[in-house]
Amino acid sequence: MAQKKRIPHKFQPWIDARRKFHLSHTHIQMARELGLSPKKFGSYANRDKQPWKLPLVEFIEMLYERQFDKKAPDEVKTMEQIATEHVAKRAEKKAAKLAAEQDGPASGE
């Protein structure tokens, strides 16, 4: 049985928000670049009680276009891709640190 890839905790709220609010990978990336919090998406998407609010997708698109003067990011990465790159980068740093520690004391003596 294949082992599931580990998703770091800092990326999990974004994945949950994407599923809960039916957002695309593009909208999640735009929200991350804008600095929005996935915990606040519920208040941004409260159209039942506050009908004057834009739907969440349109709200994110409007903010992104206003901030960056373009409709969408140039390159879209999924949260899973970003998490995989993050885990690989950390493993690489850890391996380099271990190699430096093993080489350091032997050459110092």
- pLDDT of 6-60, one tens digit each? 788 999 999 999 999 999 999 999 999 999 999 999 998 888 888 888 999 999 9
Closest CA to 84 of 1, 4, 22: 4
Q: What is the pTM of this model?
A: 0.79
d(CA 63, CA 44): 12
**pLDDT score at 3:** 65
What confidence tier does 72 reach under pLDDT thresholds 50, 70, 90? very high
Helix, strand, coil percentages (3-state) for the chain, rounded to 5, are 65, 0, 35
Per-residue pLDDT at 90: 92
How far apart CA 54 and CA 27 sit, in angstroms, is 14
- Tell me how far apart the terminal alpha carbons of the chain are, to the nearest angstrom: 47
